[in-house]
Chains A and B, each alone.
Chain A
Amino acid sequence: MARAAKKKQSTKLIALSSTNKAYEFKKPLEKRIKYQGKEVDIKLHEDPKGFSYIVWKNKKYLLDVIEKKQNRYTIMVNGVWHSFTVETPVSLKRKRYLEQQVDASAAVSIEAPMPGKIVDILVEVGGEVKEGEPIIILEAMKMQNEITSHITGIVQSISVKKGESVMKDDVLIEIKKG
């Protein structure tokens, strides 16, 4: 990945958002972006405390890289985060192709939204769940939180046990759409 991009670093990069929106930048290092059909220069500033910001249309936009894993980025803009993968034209093409190959009816996993302890599991393998239905009780920060399913389907597997501690983003349950 890095090697492929290395050769092309002087050319185009694309930031692909989590909602699949692609933002193209011809030469990001030259700090120029295309906005409403025009090329606009971007000025990156750093204040005396070391905060980075862009002045855009007379407003300050505080920017921060809060997570970065290879080409996966989470950027904070004025306290709101946005996730992207940074792609080259080639890697984007490959990604789009691979996505088409994925079976649309594959199982969806429900992940732990925060670290905590599993207090109760409210579903069984093979059981039916409806969207919005509580499936697991997770204790975190001294609160018992109901983890709900965001899809309707059949429980395919349960990866955790009662009393087990989980980390953020650990897969708890897999649900097959139906």
Chain B
Amino acid sequence: MKIKSLLIANRGEIAIRIIKTTRKMGIRSYVIKTAKEPNAWYLEEADEIIDFSEKYDEEIPEFLDIERIIKSAKKHKVDAIHPGYGFLAENPVFARRCEEEKITFIGPSHDAIYRMGHKTIAKELAREHGIPLLGGSPGAVRDADEARKIANKVGYPVILKAAAGGGGRGMRVVEKEKDIERMFSLATNEAAKAFNNPDVFLERFVREPRHIEFQILGDQHGNVVHLGERECSVQRKHQKLLEESPSPALDNAMRKKMGEAAINIAKSVNYYSAGTVEFLLDVDNSFSFMEMNTRIQVEHPVTEMVTGIDLIEQMILIAEGKKLPFSQKDIKINGWAIEWRINAEDVQSGFSPSLGTIEKISWPESENVRVDTGVRDGSVITPYYDSMIAKLIVHGETREKAMQQSSIAIRKFWIKGPKTTLAFCRAVLQNSNFRKGNFNTSFLSKELKIHYQNEPDDALLAAFFATYDYAREINENEEKPLHTENGKSITPWVLKKRLR
């Protein structure tokens, strides 16, 4: 069935990213307006807006309100729903409700979401299909006592993970037996909060692995291909900070072996649509299946840059029932792509969120640079959603060239307003082991000692600017005493808010 209209049950950059493809395909796009960001940019990009801002439930956030979204989709007679990432993207109930209401869900079947979403079921499937796994609990761990018993058997360190989890939440590493009780309660609390399910399971913790994931695409006719890997080892507390494709760690033989394992996992649940299979790669080149993400991922652009395939377009075509237009041998990896996540975070204070208004944002436009963002001048980073400002994706013929282009692009990426991770990106690019491709998930804690890069004269110029601004303000105060309040400057953005 040809999809003519599509509701995007998401916001921010991914909503705008999906709209780019729907526009290209001649599909009418619908988005949801919330009271939390009624002036967001994605609303302007869409063809139609469904307004949730007048009436909303304090308990169920807008993008998680399954029945309201389904009802709106039916009222507006949209053919399909794309969930983006996060929110309802990996909620099997939502996918099933779409199926029941004859709305095409742009993603896999609810059954595939359920089985891969349940990490313990997914691990069981992997075991049945001969995919390597780490030792640990066969299912959810009942209590701290049981966790202690299993941990003693597989040996410390161990990791506790939310069975319904993902995205690094509900995960705790336990180094020693004395910590297991406290960590067990932290992990279950966080899992209950984040995923509505307190179940956690336990695994042997690989100390310095690489995190490598394979992008797969499958159609509804049993064809599955992989589009190469993404290297996601540069992380902080299991949150990815940058990704690249391909990985400097894999040769063609390893790529083939892991790619085939990824395809087998996908086939075990008759997977269709775009999906990602995550592996840990140990120093001895042995790999273990971690989990499968049954959605489009934040870092999908690096794969698009090196394969030339529009993943959102493929997801829509697959949902329409079309066959994949290519087979494995047609997939070519061209050059190298790196994605830098630019978040509103204070790198100098442990990456704590830095909320506020983006007064100005600008970046260098270039053929090998792609910027996916949901913000523009005047946009607000709210505490309601994640802290991502933009994704800067840079392509080069080689890794060296991609890094070189990245340096230039990052230096020209200017943001006025919140504190950002840009100085962190520069620090990574200056690290010799990163440049050599020699790093793993311990890169931030062990290798990169200073998490931001500055120049010797930064402090001097900053000091000058502070005194200059201070002297100027006093000067202006003498001339026009009404223009400040308590020595605080009022930016037009603050003024705009106050006037509203």
Residues of A that sit less than 8 Å from B by CB: 2, 5-6, 9, 13-15, 17, 21, 23, 25, 28-29, 31, 33, 35, 42, 44, 49-51, 54, 56-57, 59-66, 68-71, 73, 75-82, 84, 86, 113-115, 119, 137, 139-144, 168
Nearest neighbor of B468 in chain A, beta-carbon distance: A28
Whether B458 lies near A77 (C-beta < 8 A) is yes
Query: Which of B349, B415, B467, B488 is in CB contact (< 8 Å) with A13?
Result: B467
Whether B454 lies near A29 (C-beta < 8 A) is no
**Which stretch from B245-253, B272-280, B392-400, B469-477 is at the chain A interface?**
B469-477
Residues of B that sit less than 8 Å from A by CB: 169, 186, 189-190, 193-194, 237, 346, 348-350, 352-353, 360, 362, 377, 383, 386-387, 411, 414-420, 422-423, 426, 452-455, 457-472, 474-475, 477-478, 486-489
- Given known pairs A17-B459, A28-B464, A77-B461, the reply for A142 and B193 (CB within 8 Å) is yes
Could you list 5 further interchain pairs (A-B, Cβ under 8 angstroms) beyond the known A14-B467, A68-B487? Answer: A2-B474, A9-B471, A9-B475, A76-B462, A140-B352
Query: Which of B169, B457, B462 is in CB contact (< 8 Å) with A75?
Result: B462
Q: Chain A binding site: helix, strand, loop or mixed by DSSP?
A: strand
Q: How far apart sit A61 and B469, CA to CA, in the bound complex (Å)? A: 16
A9 neighbours in B (Cβ, 8 Å) = 471, 474-475
B350 neighbours in A (Cβ, 8 Å) = 113
Whether A113 lies near B467 (C-beta < 8 A) is no
Query: Which of A29, A68, A113, A115 is in CB contact (< 8 Å) with B468?
Result: A29
Q: How far apart sit A25 and B460, CA to CA, in the bound complex (Å)? A: 10
Query: Which of A21, A49, A63, A80 is in CB contact (< 8 Å) with B465?
Result: A63
Q: How far apart sit A168 and B160, CA to CA, in the bound complex (Å)? A: 29
B416 neighbours in A (Cβ, 8 Å) = 50-51, 64
Q: How far apart sit A71 and B463, CA to CA, in the bound complex (Å)? A: 12
Q: How far apart sit A63 and B469, CA to CA, in the bound complex (Å)? A: 11
B353 neighbours in A (Cβ, 8 Å) = 114, 140-141
B348 neighbours in A (Cβ, 8 Å) = 80-81
Q: How far apart sit A59 and B454, CA to CA, in the bound complex (Å)? A: 13
Nearest neighbor of B426 in chain A, beta-carbon distance: A79
**How many Å from the CB of B485 to the closest CB on chain A?**
12
Q: How far apart sit A109 and B216, CA to CA, in the bound complex (Å)? A: 50
- Given known pairs A51-B414, A64-B416, A113-B352, the reply for A82 and B470 (CB within 8 Å) is no
Task: Identify the 4 closest CB pairs spanning chains A and B, nearest first.
Answer: A23-B463, A15-B463, A79-B423, A79-B422
A142 neighbours in B (Cβ, 8 Å) = 169, 193-194
